[in-house]
Amino acid sequence: MHQTTHPKTETASRAWFVVSAKNQVLGKLATRIAEVLMGKRKVSYSPAVDQGDFVVVTDVDKLVVTGNKAETKIYRFHTGFIGGLQELSFGELQARRPEDVLQLAVRRMLPKTRAARGMLKRLKLFKGESHPHLGQNPVEL
């Protein structure tokens, strides 16, 4: 009887990917990023084992949405105080904190477990074209 090796989080080999969000549609890009963070593209994928890769996203301020979502899509947050519901349209949030738009989209596509926090930490978002992760030799996604 041969012994099979099961994938483990500690032994996962993590690659680095870089992608430019310039003129990319929010949902399509977030789906691809979430798949890579979860490790779904790997042959050894297992839902219980976190073996996803790192993703560096540049130009998040140049992300686009289709249709009239720029005016009608609303993000809701609560401050924790009474009457503290904050509502921002996509355009307002994109102008204030462009990284949050993509991070929220990806976070909501990840599993609702403890492992998702680790996955989200491997997502690196930057406004401009430059990023400090060139030493990891990221591959174009």
CATH classification of the domain holding 110: 3.90.1180.10
Number of domains forming the structure of the chain? 1
pTM of the model as a whole: 0.89
9 lies in some domain: no
Beta-sheet strands, E only, within the chain = 16-20, 54-58, 74-78, 85-89, 123-125, 139-140
User: Between residues 66 and 6, which one has the greater pLDDT?
Assistant: 66
Q: Mean pLDDT score of the chain, rounded to an integer?
A: 91
26 lies in some domain: yes
* Model pLDDT for residues 111-126, shown as the tens digit of each residue: 999 999 999 999 999 9
11 lies in some domain: no
CA-derived radius of gyration, the chain: 17
DSSP 3-state assignment of 24? coil
* Model pLDDT for residues 76-104, shown as the tens digit of each residue: 999 999 999 999 999 999 999 999 999 99
* Model pLDDT for residues 26-62, shown as the tens digit of each residue: 999 999 999 999 999 988 888 888 889 999 999 999 9
86 lies in some domain: yes
* 125-130 average pLDDT score: 92
